[in-house]
Structure 1
Amino acid sequence: MSAHQLGEIVSLVFMAFALGMDAFSVSLGMGMQSLRLKRIAFIGMVIGLFHIIMPFMGIMVGKAISVKIGELTTLVAGTLLFAIGAQMLFSAFNHEIKKVVKPAGIGLLFFAISVSVDSFSVGLSLGMSGVKIAIALLLFGAVSTVLTWIGMLLGKKVHGFLGVYSEILGGSILCGFGLYMLFG
């Protein structure tokens, strides 16, 4: 392996961690819901899959879409995260409201899209750079899966300590992260 190839892989590992930190941060909040380990494992795999699909889609349309799409994806992701967090907050204060957004079904789909949509923009640039696409996609998926698991397991531990207030904290984390994506 040449120094250039090693440098490229190291760069991709750092990029994978940067992209996976969204999933980690948001998973801390989601992990505060009472979830079984099996569900946490499944959610991590779905997040990892979306961290492969989204940059792949970005790579495929890289030359056809302008740079402006990066701003739009951040806006959509931030809005989705804020909405999920707000719903968690409202359900924590009003016990009559059923949880609409759970990390299952359509809720899991929204969750996965919201934390992986920024990797679409990264895919746009990767498609034009000539990087080893298969290695990049596998690294993005593996790192985001592991970071999601870590975040959800840490969130689960915090839930045990905070009890009833954990949903408020989890919703606040999601709202804050959504606002950060929108305005930060």
Structure 2
Amino acid sequence: MTPGTIAILSLSMSTDAFAAAVGRGASHRPSWQGAVRAGMVFGVIEAITPLIGWTLGLLAAGFVQQVDHWIAFGLLAVVGGKMIWEARKPASADSVGPSPSRSALWALVATAIGTSIDAAAVGVGLAFLGANIWIIAACIGLTTFALTTIGMMIGRAVGVRFGKWAEMIGGLALIGVGTTILIEHLGLFVR
């Protein structure tokens, strides 16, 4: 994968965490330190899940080499479509999370895991492509850390609506990356 594709993928994987962070920031009004802690939780979890997906994908890669580009396209299209679908749904009380309490850390971790499931699916697709998962996972984790921290602070100021637009753009970008992978593997696009 090219550095540009990795950057787009990292941003795309981070937008749902960004959207959740904007929502949490709007409801919890965190301090800067609280936003950084939330960014670390989201970033670490978002970096681990593609590694898990990649490992599962490697186990199955030998069986599906002839159709790996279709699988990568399908997974990215489904994840991107889901992100667009979620962005179009009205915000619910669940998307913002509970008020700060003793269980606030667990609520934060659960939200981070929920927003990182798509990264596991992308990790499966990356295994079929033979991509360097360590660099990609690190980029996804760092990007998620930065965007979540920023999203928490933005949420204090602008509320939930902005996060939905970011999630929609991320979904469109994932579908674009999947389409590019498919076109390149079918030989329809020459660099």
Cα distance change, pair 121–90 in 1 and its aligned pair in 2 (3 A): closer
1:39 offset after TM fit, Å?
Answer: 1.2
Q: 1:47 aligns with which of 42, 53, 57?
A: 42
Aligned to 2:144: 144
1:121 offset after TM fit, Å?
Answer: 0.5
Query: 1:99-123 CA deviation, whole Å, 9 max, x = no partner?
Result: 4888832101111012111101000
1:37 offset after TM fit, Å?
Answer: 1.4
Cα distance change, pair 90–157 in 1 and its aligned pair in 2 (3 A): closer
Query: Are residue 115 (structure 1) and residue 115 (structure 2) matched?
Result: yes
Distance in structure 2 (CA, Å) of the matches to 1:89 and 1:21: 14
* Alpha-carbon contact 1:27-1:151 (below 8 Å) kept: yes
Aligned to 2:187: none
Aligned to 1:163: none
Aligned to 1:4: none
Aligned to 1:17: 11
Q: 2:52 aligns with which of 53, 57, 62?
A: 57
* Alpha-carbon contact 1:59-1:123 (below 8 Å) kept: yes
* Alpha-carbon contact 1:54-1:119 (below 8 Å) kept: yes
Distance in structure 2 (CA, Å) of the matches to 1:89 and 1:126: 29
Distance in structure 1 (CA, Å) of the matches to 2:9 and 2:18: 14
Alignment of 1:21-170 (within 5 A): 21-32=15-26, 33-62=28-57, 63-64=59-60, 86-87=92-93, 99=99, 104-158=104-158, 170=160
Query: 1:62-104 CA deviation, whole Å, 9 max, x = no partner?
Result: 14499699869x98xx99xx9xx6446999xxxxxx8488883
Distance in structure 1 (CA, Å) of the matches to 2:108 and 2:52: 19
TM-score by length of 2: 0.62
Secondary structure, aligned partner of 2:30: coil
Secondary structure, aligned partner of 1:31: helix
Would you say how many aligned residue pairs link Structure 1 and Structure 2?
A: 151
Instruction: Percent identity, please.
Output: 23
* Alpha-carbon contact 1:88-1:99 (below 8 Å) kept: no
Which has the higher mean CA deviation after the structures are superposed, 133-142 or 26-35?
26-35
* Alpha-carbon contact 1:50-1:116 (below 8 Å) kept: yes
1:24 offset after TM fit, Å?
Answer: 1.4
5+ residue gaps, structure 1, are: 1-6, 92-97, 159-168
Distance in structure 2 (CA, Å) of the matches to 1:90 and 1:150: 16
TM-score by length of 1: 0.64
- RMSD of aligned residue pairs (Cα, Å): 4.0
Distance in structure 1 (CA, Å) of the matches to 2:2 and 2:94: 41
